[in-house]
Amino acid sequence: MTELDPVIHAQARLRVVAALSTLGAGDRITFPRLQELLGMTAGNLSVHLRKLEDAGYVEIDKTHRGRTPTTLVRLSSRGRLAFEEYTENIRALLHPADSKETS
């Protein structure tokens, strides 16, 4: 049986990683925009981003635009690879015969 990455598998973190995976490699999104896209509270999003950051899956940059503090989030290359492996494992679980044919 295929193991699913427990860091990504939590529903909220899966939503975060899926949203970030739609950005180009190296592209970043502001924290408020990500919060808006996901419909999450700031506190909830912060907790899940911290878990993903601790795993090396996201990178968070705190900077300023003028005098305004800005938090930028992006999926790291490690996070992108982990998400690709996660989606492959989900496909293998849903369609085991297909994964055996391509292996």
DSSP per position, 53-97: HHTTSEEEEEEEETTEEEEEEEE-HHHHHHHHHHHHHHHHHH-HH
Indicate the domain borders of the chain: 6-95
* CATH fold group of domain 6-95: Arc Repressor Mutant, subunit A (1.10.10)
- Say whether pLDDT at 103 is over 60: no
Tens-place pLDDT, residues 46-86: 999 999 999 999 999 999 988 999 999 999 999 999 999 99
pLDDT of residue 65: 87
pLDDT reported for residue 96? 80
For 11-54, write each residue's pLDDT tens digit.
999 999 999 999 998 899 999 999 999 999 999 999 999 999 99
Beta-carbon contacts of 65 under 8 Å, excluding residues fewer than 6 positions away, are none
Positive/negative CA dihedral, 23, 65, 39, 6: positive
Rounded to two decimals, the pTM is: 0.88
